[in-house]
Amino acid sequence: MGLLGAFFVSFAVVVNGFHVPHANIKRQVSQLRSSYDFVIVGGGTSGLTVADRLTEAFPSKNVLVVEYGDVKQFTPGTFDPPTTWANPLHPEYAPFFVFFPIPSPDVKNKTGFVGAGQTVGGSSATNGQFFDRGSRYDYDSWAEAAGPGYEAWNWRGLFPYFKKSVTFHPPSAALVQKHGYTWDISAYGGSTPIHASFPPFQWEDREILWNTWKDLGLKPSRECAAGEKEGICFVPTSQHPVTAKRSHAGLAHYADVVASRPNYDLLVRHQGIRVIYPNGLQSGPPTVEVKSLLDSHVFNITATAEVVLAAGSLHTPTILQRSGIGPAGFLQSAGIPVVLDLPGVGSNLHDHSGPFAVTWNYTNPGNFSEIPERMDTDPAYLADSIAGFSENPARGPYTLGLANTAIYVSLPKLAPNHQAIVNRIRQIANDGSASSYLPAEYRTNPDMIRGYKAQLLAIANKLANPKAPSLETPWATGTSLQAFLLHPLSRGTVRLNLNDHLAQPILDYRTGSNPVDFDIHLAHVKFLRQLVNTPTMQQYGAVEVAPGPGVQSDADLVEFIKDQMTVSFQHPSGTAALLPKNKGGVVGPGLKVHDTAGLRVVDMSILSVNIGGHLSSTAYAVGEKAAAIIIEEWTVTGKGKGKAKAKARR
């Protein structure tokens, strides 16, 4: 309980009213200072990273983080013991915002769970702890889609911040011997207490798939976090190497540092409503209007230096839309005066999606000494697993997160028709038809169309690259696999609820609205279903259950894909994209909202195109880079010049 214990103590002390000068959790306006230098809206993965770095760099500048959720005692991992979870509805359990997007007609009107962390630490406190990075080609494609002026957002520009954002703990020699873990320490090197480590436990049958992939020609990669990740990867878990307790931003970037930061305030249970420019968009920073979720009191907070939005991909656009910054047509329909027509706000929504691609049975016995079913059938084993998790060091199955292994396969390596798919995307980008795949309100907007074409071309280049993965399939155990589509072409929207602008927004995922996504899904499923025929699988008598022998034609497989589709892998992105204004972008290379002063976005909203990986490590790295940009502007040049320089940069 070491880390979590420390986190809880600082919270308990404050609510009990003891005089603890550095435990700065605030719950009402009367506890705030009259103004702050920096106000950060959203105390999640990226927001707390920025808050930590700013309070560290500027001891004489005050920083306030406004967070919707609360400080929670429990932030269990995806696969922590039932005793830890107790009751997910228990108020001490870190909760989610829960969304079900409106049905997507191109995938049989499917919807599905989309979550977002609603607690100090944000989604890093509630996610699956799968701690990979995208490939270098993913970040290079951000710079490519955006064009001149955005070069600093390529892999070279981000890699130092990936390194800084995390502490990697190499596994012991005994664990390497047992599980074969590999890594390259040069991918790491930071000392931030966001931990990346490999657990002491793996299920025995994990090895079968590892060998199956080798049969299919994939190559194990020693380290997948250093830019290249095509092949079979070991992926660390974001947890402490000894206690196996979750690592998250609420610990590393708040609880662990706040004692030495009298300039670091955290206001919990408050909703950032909107930003207001009483004297025009260039008079910034804006005022921040906030609502208490405890007593509904609405008040303004003054920022003297900057306002930083970090409420995540599903909420940052709601704050901008309520501020009158967004698509003018939509704002008018919502009765919100248009302050700035920025059509990209809440547009360009994309997420990883994919079907449960293949399921099989083993018909021969295997040497599986420990399989998950033992948790159900062997009460002594379950009891020992629960006990082992709270030992120090922790041991047993519950030390596992989501998984520690995945394959990442490029389209050229998995699809004989890869060139045809790439050509089709390039044709759509060039023949004038791209606009027809966008949400109706963008089909006549030249900036949005230009930006979508730039994204399509950047994605086509990735899909043509034999080193840039298109498919991800993670696994830990079992006989069923999902096929993540890493580079979706379909685009959706996040819009305020017209009946209540402060309620949760409406998500329109539009999954599969660009039909080329199905060409790619089809190639992924055809590749994955080959697995049952490999020598390794045949040794265990593997028999395909799904798609099943009756599903062979492309048309039948596409039906199967639509039936099995999971619309979200919890990676919504792109709703305040890092693109120039004439490409429908919302933020420029300094992460400033176009045509405004003193306002930035630093969270996963900025992803113009998605990455070939899960998002949390990227959220930390973007937070680190954003902080470095802000610190440089306010250090080197001082306040007034900082503004001048920011303008020059735009």
Ligand X SMILES: *[C@@H]1O[C@H](CO)[C@@H](O)[C@H](O)[C@H]1NC(C)=O
Ligand Y SMILES: Cc1cc2nc3c(=O)[nH]c(=O)nc-3n(C[C@H](O)[C@H](O)[C@H](O)COP(=O)(O)OP(=O)(O)OC[C@H]3O[C@@H](n4cnc5c(N)ncnc54)[C@H](O)[C@@H]3O)c2cc1C
**Which of 560, 616, 629, 642 lies at the binding interface for ligand Y (CB under 6 A)?**
616
Q: How many residues does the chain have?
A: 650
Residue carrying structure tokens 């804006």: 286
When CB distances are held under 5 to 8 angstroms depending on the partner's kind, the choice from ligand Y, ligand X, none that residue 614 binds is ligand Y
Q: How far is the CB of 413 from ligand Y (least distance, A)?
A: 24
Nearer to ligand X, 253 or 291 (CB): 291
Residues lying near ligand X in the complex (CB under 6 A) are found at 103, 105, 108-109, 276, 278, 287, 289, 298-300, 361, 364-367, 543, 545
3-state secondary structure of 118: coil
Among 609, 251, 276, 587, which residue's Cα sits nearest to residue 457?
609
Out of 202, 263, 271, 490, the only residue in the binding site for ligand Y (CB under 6 A) is 271
Please give the Cα distance from 317 to 322 (Å, whole number).
9
Q: What torsion do the CA atoms of 76, 79, 80, 86 make, to the nearest 10 degrees?
A: 70
Residue holding tokens 């030992």? 391
Residue numbers 475-534 binding ligand Y by CB under 6 A: none
Is 501 considered catalytic here?
no
Q: Which residue's beta carbon is nearest to the bound ligand Y? A: 44
Written as one string, the DSSP assignment of 508-533 is E--TT-STHHHHHHHHHHHHHGGGGG
| Interaxial angle between packed helices 446-463 and 136-146, expressed in degrees from 0 to 180 and rounded to the nearest 10 | 150
Helix (H, G, I), strand (E, B) or coil at 133: coil
Q: Does 68 bind ligand Y (CB under 6 A)?
A: yes
For the bound state, the minimum distance from the C-beta of residue 372 to ligand X, rounded and expressed in Å, comes to 14
* Active-site entry in 418, 521, 524, 571: 571
Is the Cβ of residue 103 or residue 478 nearer to ligand X in the bound state? 103
Note whether 69 binds ligand Y by CB under 6 A: yes
Task: Pick what 367 binds: ligand X, ligand Y, none; C-beta below 5 to 8 Å, kind-dependent.
Answer: ligand X
CB contact at 8 A, 83 and 285: no
Distances from the Cα of 493 to the Cα of 168, 170, 318, 512, angstroms: 36, 41, 11, 14
Taking a C-beta distance cutoff of 8 angstroms, is the pair 300, 287 a contact? yes
Q: Find the shortest distance in angstroms from Cβ 279 to ligand X.
A: 9
Q: Find the shortest distance in angstroms from Cβ 554 to ligand Y.
A: 32
Residue 355 binding: pick among ligand Y, ligand X, none (C-beta 5-8 Å cut-off by kind): none
Pick the piece of the chain touching ligand Y (CB under 6 A) from 16-24, 173-181, 308-316, 637-645: 308-316
Kindly name the residue from 240, 270, 350, 614 that is annotated as catalytic. 614
From the list 61-69, 145-153, 274-282, 379-387, the region that binds ligand Y by CB under 6 A is: 61-69
Q: Which of 171, 227, 312, 585 binds ligand Y (CB under 6 A)?
A: 312
From 52-60, 127-135, 169-177, 591-599, give the range in contact with ligand Y by CB under 6 A: 127-135
Distance CA(71)–CA(238), nearest Å, equals 19
CA within 13 Å, CB half, 443: 7
* 470 annotated ligand-binding residue: no
The residue range among 170-178, 359-367, 539-547, 612-620 that interacts with ligand Y, by the rule CB under 6 A, is: 612-620
CA distance 206 to 213: 11
45 labelled binding-site residue: yes
189/80 Cα distance (integer angstroms): 28
Q: Which is nearer to ligand X, 5 or 105 (CB)?
A: 105
353 binds, among ligand Y, ligand X, none (CB under 5 to 8 A by kind): none
Q: Which does 16 bind (CB under 5 to 8 A by kind): ligand X, ligand Y, none?
A: none
Cis amide bond preceding 355, omega within 30: no
CB–CB of 195/167 below 8 Å? yes
Single out the segment in contact with ligand Y by CB under 6 A; choices: 113-121, 151-159, 354-362, 625-633.
Answer: 113-121
Shortest distance in whole angstroms from residue 520 CB to ligand Y? 22
Q: Does 405 bind ligand Y (CB under 6 A)?
A: no
Query: Given candidates 63, 64, 71, 116, which one binds ligand Y under the rule CB under 6 A?
Result: 116
Instruction: Establish if 123 lies at the interface with ligand Y (CB under 6 A).
Output: yes
Among ligand X, ligand Y, none, partner that 299 touches (CB below 5 to 8 angstroms by kind): ligand X
Query: What's the closest the beta carbon of residue 553 comes to ligand Y, in angstroms?
Result: 35
Active site residue 19: no
Sign of CA dihedral 264, 267, 271, 277: negative
Instruction: Output the 3-class SS for 445-477.
Output: CHHHHHHHHHHHHHHHHHHCCCCCEEEEEEECC
Cβ distance to ligand X smaller for residue 108 or 647: 108
- 246 and 77 in contact (C-beta within 8 Å)? yes
The rounded distance, in Å, linking the Cα atoms of 487 and 312 is 20
The entry of ligand Y, ligand X, none that residue 616 binds, CB within 5 to 8 Å by partner kind: ligand Y
**Helix (H) and strand (E) counts in the chain:** 20, 25
Q: In this chain, which stretch among 31-39, 62-70, 190-198, 427-435 interacts with ligand Y, using CB under 6 A? A: 62-70
Our CB check for ligand X shows the closer of 365 and 640 to be 365
Strands (E), 363-505: 405-410, 469-475, 480-482, 484-485, 493-495
Does 354 bind ligand Y (CB under 6 A)? Our answer is: no
Distance CA 127, CA 616 (A): 8
Helices (H), 491-637: 516-528, 535-539, 554-564, 616-635
For residue 123, the partner it binds in ligand X, ligand Y, none, with Cβ less than 5 to 8 A by kind, is: ligand Y
**Strands across the sheet containing 25-26:** 25-26, 264-267, 63-66, 36-41, 303-309, 599-601
**Of residues 68 and 210, the one with the C-beta less far from ligand Y:** 68
361 binds, among ligand X, ligand Y, none (CB under 5 to 8 A by kind): ligand X
- Specify the stretch interacting with ligand Y by CB under 6 A; choose among 145-153, 370-378, 516-524, 614-622: 614-622
Question: Is 233 a binder of ligand Y (CB under 6 A)?
Answer: no
d(CA 300, CA 316): 18
**Strand 36-41, strand 542-546: pairing:** unpaired
β-strands 405-410, 469-475: how paired?
A: antiparallel
| Shortest distance (Å) from residue 649 CB to ligand X | 28
Among 55, 75, 124, 410, binds ligand Y (CB under 6 A): 124
d(CA 511, CA 38): 37
Count of residues that bind ligand Y according to CB under 6 A: 43
Pick 194 or 208: Cβ nearer ligand X: 208
Q: How far is the CB of 539 from ligand X (least distance, A)?
A: 6
45 binds ligand Y (CB under 6 A): yes
Binders of ligand Y in range 164-193 (CB under 6 A): none
Give CA–CA dist 59/450, Å, rounded: 43
**Residue 366 contact, options ligand X, ligand Y, none, Cβ 5-8 Å cut-off depending on partner type:** ligand X
Residue list, annotated binding site for FAD: 45-46
Residue list, annotated binding site: 45-46
Q: Which residues are catalytic?
A: 571, 614
